[in-house]
Amino acid sequence: MSQLLEIKDLTAGVEEKELLHSVSLTVGAGETHVLMGPNGAGKSTLGSVIMGSPEYAVSGGRLFFDGEDITDDSADKRAKRGIFLSFQNPVEIAGVTLSEFLRNALEQVTGKHLKLWDFKKKLRSCMEILGMDASYADRDLNVGFSGGEKKKAEILQLLVLEPKLAILDETDSGLDVDAVKTVSAGIDEYKKRTGGSLIVITHNTKILEALRVDKTHILAAGQIVAEGGAELVDEVITNGFEKYIKGGK
Ligand code: ADP
Ligand code: MG
Ligand code: MG
| Band of pLDDT at residue 248, cut at 50, 70 and 90 | very low
Separation of 44 CA from ligand 2 center, angstroms? Answer: 7
Per-residue pLDDT tens digits for 95-135: 889 999 999 999 999 999 989 999 999 999 999 999 899 99
Closest residue by Cα to residue 145 from 87, 207, 91, 182: 91
By alpha-carbon position, which residue is closest to atom 24 of ligand 1? 14
CB 160 within 8 A of CB 189: no
| Residue 143 exposed, middle or buried by CB count within 10 Å (0-12, 13-18, 19+) | middle
User: 60-64, 164-168, 208-212: lowest mean pLDDT where?
Assistant: 208-212
User: Is the minimum distance from the CB of 55 to ligand 1 under 6 angstroms?
Assistant: yes
> For position 20, what pLDDT does the model report?
98
Average pLDDT over residues 37-58: 96
> For position 94, what pLDDT does the model report?
79
What spatial distance separates the first Cα and last Cα of the chain, rounded to whole Å?
27
Average pLDDT over residues 72-77: 95
Q: Which fold has domain 3-245?
A: Rossmann fold (3.40.50)
Separation of 67 CA from ligand 2 center, angstroms? Answer: 30
> For position 90, what pLDDT does the model report?
65
Radius of gyration of the chain (CA): 18
In ligand 1, the atom with minimum distance to the C-alpha of 39 is: 4
Write down the domain spans for the chain: 3-245
Per-residue pLDDT tens digits for 24-45: 999 999 999 999 999 999 999 9
What's the rounded Cα separation, in Å, for the pair 128 and 2? 33
User: Is the minimum distance from the CB of 152 to ligand 1 under 6 angstroms?
Assistant: no
User: Is the minimum distance from the CB of 39 to ligand 1 under 6 angstroms?
Assistant: yes
User: Is the minimum distance from the CB of 14 to ligand 1 under 6 angstroms?
Assistant: yes
> For position 89, what pLDDT does the model report?
63
